[in-house]
Amino acid sequence: MNELKPKRGVAIIGIGITKFGEHWNLGLKELAVQAGTKAVEDAGISGEDIQLVVGGNMSSGLFTGQEHEAGLLADYLGLNPIPAIRTEGACSSGGLAMRVGCLAVASGMYNFVAVGGVEKMTDVYGPQATTALSGAMDYETEAYFGATFPGIYALIARRHMHEYGTTRKQLSLIAVKNHRNALHNPYAQYRKKITIGDVEKSMMVADPLRLLDCSPITDGAATVILAPADLARKYTDTPIYVRASAQASDTLSLFSRRSITTLDATVYAAKEAYRQARLSPKDIDFAEVHDCFTIAEICAYEDLGFTEKGKGGKLIEEGETEMGGKIPVNASGGLKAKGHPVGATGIAQIVEIVKQLKGEAEKRQVKNAELGLAHNVGGSGATATVHILSRDR
């Protein structure tokens, strides 16, 4: 990739998040306003200081009937007439918003940027939600013929099992770990401990994936406030610095890929992020990865360089990604248990990284957390973003 030369560093000075779950009494704009207000207050600034809004949202038109979210958010956040942008990259819409916000600050054009993500998914019936989400795959070659995302990731899982000996137990261990972590996250949708037996007895969705292998349908929003690194300490004693912001692409259709068990967009985005930060996978202390299905987390271990190809299952089985392990993954509970309001997920990952780096994650706190990585995927891997954050510049 071409070398990037930003004019200045970027820091996070404020964060805000709603509880994830089924919000029957809150709409799209109420969720966004709740998270945005928290972030501005946390940053110690006023709405008048914000110069740009970037909002990640996948499919509010199909979920709620509302399009033109950028204008909607600027309006209801009381930020008119500043510019507002919506980013859409399926489930990586939030990660894309973060990247656009980072570029805006790094370019020198803006000093204070509010970057958010929001999705209201529970206002429609299950089949309608499936239809909305199917737009994230190649519609003509996959969704048109009946493919769903559980089906797509089931193909990935079966192939991974065939090529590398990944086991049903290893998939279950991902779900068990992330539910255990979510017990200590007050914003998580499912704060419920589960066992391997619970996972393996849950309803079959797409063989070999069962109900407890799958992330849920979720409402929620999250926001971060970005500022130039040189100005950050004027507003907070504990700014968190963006060491890398990377994005890459791959084919939408699974059959077009060189390997369906490797998400090349993740591989390339990770390589670029490590290059920008002048780090290697071994330097990362903890990560929030895109576990839309249990197999996705195992693939992420490999694609992000935390282990060799084919050994992701062993990494979880040996406890290396548990709290207290070599590299704790999804201390928040991940998409699996924290919830997956698709447009908000990428920003929620950033919020969790910030909390961990500030030492504010309470009972789920990762020890000696200095470098954190956030990994956000769109669809089955056509888009991926990787961000690396740190306590030090």
* 280-286: average pLDDT: 98
pTM as predicted: 0.97
User: For a pLDDT cut of 70, what percent of the chain falls above it?
Assistant: 98
* Amino acid letter, 17: I
**What's residue 106's pLDDT?**
98
Per DSSP, the three-state class of 227 is: strand
CA atoms of 104 and 113, how far apart (whole Å):
8
Q: Tell me the per-residue pLDDT of 86-104, one tens digit each, with 9 for 90 and over.
A: 999 999 999 999 999 999 9
User: For a pLDDT cut of 90, what percent of the chain falls above it?
Assistant: 96
* 312-326: average pLDDT: 98
Q: Where are the alpha helices (DSSP H) in 278-364?
A: 294-303, 312-317, 334-338, 342-357
**What's residue 1's pLDDT?**
47
Q: Tell me the per-residue pLDDT of 50-66, one tens digit each, with 9 for 90 and over.
A: 999 999 999 999 999 99
* 27-55: average pLDDT: 97
CATH top-level class for 146-215+240-390? alpha beta
**What's residue 126's pLDDT?**
87
* 346-364: average pLDDT: 98
> Residue 178 has which token pair?
């992330």
Range in 1-5, 94-98, 271-275 with the lowest mean pLDDT: 1-5
Q: Tell me the per-residue pLDDT of 214-261, one tens digit each, with 9 for 90 and over.
A: 999 999 999 999 999 999 999 999 999 999 999 999 999 999 999 999
Angle of the 168-182 helix axis to the 294-303 helix axis, nearest 10: 100
CA atoms of 385 and 102, how far apart (whole Å):
12
Domain 10-125+218-234 adopts which CATH fold?
A: Peroxisomal Thiolase; Chain A, domain 1 (3.40.47)
Instruction: Give the active site residues.
Output: 91, 340
* Amino acid letter, 381: G
| Residue count of the chain | 393
β-sheet bridge partners, residue 55: 86, 116
Per DSSP, the three-state class of 108 is: coil
Ranges assigned E (strand) in 240-333: 240-249, 286-288
Mean pLDDT computed over every residue of the chain: 96
Per DSSP, the three-state class of 84 is: strand
Per DSSP, the three-state class of 148 is: coil
Q: Tell me the per-residue pLDDT of 107-157, one tens digit each, with 9 for 90 and over.
A: 999 999 999 999 999 999 988 999 999 999 999 999 999 999 999 999 999
- Residue 3 clears pLDDT 60, i.e. is over it: no
DSSP type of residue 4: P
Residue spans in the chain of domains classed CATH 3.40.47.10? 10-125+218-234, 146-215+240-390
> Residue 142 has which token pair?
């996959």
